[in-house]
Amino acid sequence: MANMRLVTQIFGLILGNGMLIGLPLFGTSNILRHIYLPNASTKFFIYAPTYATLYKVQDTVFSGWNSMYIDLLLPLLIFVVLMILLGRVWCAWLCPLGLPQDLLTRLRRTLGVRHIEMAPHHADFVHSLKYLGLAVIVFYTFALGAPFFDLKRMWNALPVPYEQFDPNRAMYIYLQMAVGLAPPSTYVPLMSVLVAILFLGTCFAARRFWCHICPQGAMMSLFNKIAFVRLRKDPAKCTHCRICYRVCPMEILKVYEEREGTDVSSEKCVHCYNCVDNCPEDGCLSVEFLGKKVVESRYRCQCDEKGVRT
C-alpha cells in the first residue's frame, strides 16, 4: 500500500499542485482558481492551479470585514463536501507535504537511523497543538483585519501567518527556481525557510511529524466524525498484538486499544492504512467508504517483502 500511496502522492504533487513542472494551462484557468483544495500548494507558486483552503480562509478573514466574510461561503462549502467525501485521506495520499515526509522516512530507514518515538501521552499533546496553531492563525488574521483592533500596523512586523510559515513555500520555490520556472528574484520569507529546515529535521527523526502539528490537518480533523471514509475494526478478531500501534506514524492508540466498538477512525489519522496493511488477522481492520469495504487486513509474511516500507 505504501508504494501505491507513493504513486498518488507524486500524481498529487505534479498534477494537483503543479509545483515542480508547473502547468500553465491550469494556472490560467479561472474556474479552477475558485476550487480550493484541503491541502494543495501555497499560493506563491508559479502556475499553481489552485491553493489550499487555509489560504483562502486567511485572506478572507483578513480582508472580509466589510463584506461580512461572504467570500468564505463557497470555499468552505467545497471544503466541507470534500471532507465528508474523503476526510483526511488527503493527507497520506495527496498532500505535497506528505511525500517529502515519507521520503525522509525511507531515507532514514535506508541509513538505519533510529526514529524518535513519542509516548502516547506526548503524542496526544503534540496533536492538540495543531488546533492551537489553527486557532491562532484564524484569530490573528481576524484581529489584523477587524477595524476595532487597529492592528494594521502589525502587518509589516508579522503579516498573515500561514503564508509566512508554510514550509511548502521554501521547499518548492527553490526547486522551481532551480528548473527555471520561477525567477531567481522570487521572495521567500525567512520564516518559511526556517520552518522548512525544522520540517526536514523533525520529519527525518520522527515519522510524519508535520502531520501531528499541521494547521490544515486541524481544519480537516474537525470533520472526522462525519466523513464517509471510516476505519473499522472487528474486535473479536483482534489479538491485541500492538502491531497497528507500532506501525502507526501518528501514534494512535485507539486502533490497538478498542475492544468493543467497531469504528476506530481517529481525528489524528492521516489514512495511510499502515495498520490495515500490517494487521496479521484476516478481516480485523478494514477501510470503509459509505459502509462498503474498500480494503481489509490480511495476514502476509513480512519475509516475502522487498525493500523498505514507509
Partner 1 sequence: MKDASGGAERVLRYMNKELAEGAAAHRDRIREAAASQVQKHLAAMKGLSRPKAMEYFDSMADPFGPRAEELRKFKEAGGKIIGSLCYFAPAEIVAAFGAVPVRFCSGVYEAVHPANDLLGDAGLCPLVKSTLGLKMSGASPMLELCDMVIVPTPCDAKLKLGEILQDMVDVHLMNMPAVKSTEAGRQSWIGEIKSLLSALEKRFDRRLRPQMLRKSIQTYQRAQAAWRRFSELRKAGAIWGRDALLVAQLSFFDDIARWTQNVERLSGELEGRGPVAPDAARILLGGSPIVWPNWKVPLLIEESGGMIIADELCSGSRTMHDPVVVEEWTMDGMLVALAERYMIPCTCPSFSPNLEREQNMLGRIRDTGAEGVVFHVLRGCHLNSLDATKAAKALRERRIPMLKVESEYDEGDLEQVRTRVEAFIEMIKARRESSG
Residues that bind partner 1 (CB under 8 A): 109, 112-115, 119-120, 235-243, 246-247, 259, 278, 280, 299, 301-304, 308-309
Instruction: Determine the length of the chain.
Output: 310
Cα 58 from Cα 81, distance rounded (Å):
20
Q: Left, alpha or beta for 251 (phi > 0: left; psi -120 to 50: alpha)?
A: left
Give the list of residues 6+ apart from residue 285 with CB closer than 8 angstroms, or none.
Answer: 231, 232, 233, 234, 244, 255, 264, 275, 276, 279, 296, 297
Comparing CB distances to partner 1, the nearer of 263 and 282 is: 282
Closest distance to partner 1 from the beta carbon of 288 (Å) = 20
Comparing CB distances to partner 1, the nearer of 14 and 247 is: 247
Comparing CB distances to partner 1, the nearer of 225 and 237 is: 237
Closest distance to partner 1 from the beta carbon of 245 (Å) = 9
Distance of CA 262 to the CA centre of its chain: 25
Residue 143's identity, in one-letter code, is A
Cα 18 from Cα 41, distance rounded (Å):
8
Closest distance to partner 1 from the beta carbon of 110 (Å) = 10
Closest distance to partner 1 from the beta carbon of 281 (Å) = 8
Comparing CB distances to partner 1, the nearer of 150 and 305 is: 305
Comparing CB distances to partner 1, the nearer of 120 and 189 is: 120
Closest distance to partner 1 from the beta carbon of 208 (Å) = 13
Comparing CB distances to partner 1, the nearer of 71 and 258 is: 258
Closest distance to partner 1 from the beta carbon of 112 (Å) = 6
Alpha-carbon torsion angle 83, 198, 308, 279, nearest 10 = -40
Cβ–Cβ < 8 Å for 22, 47: yes
Which grid coordinates belong to 49?
492551479
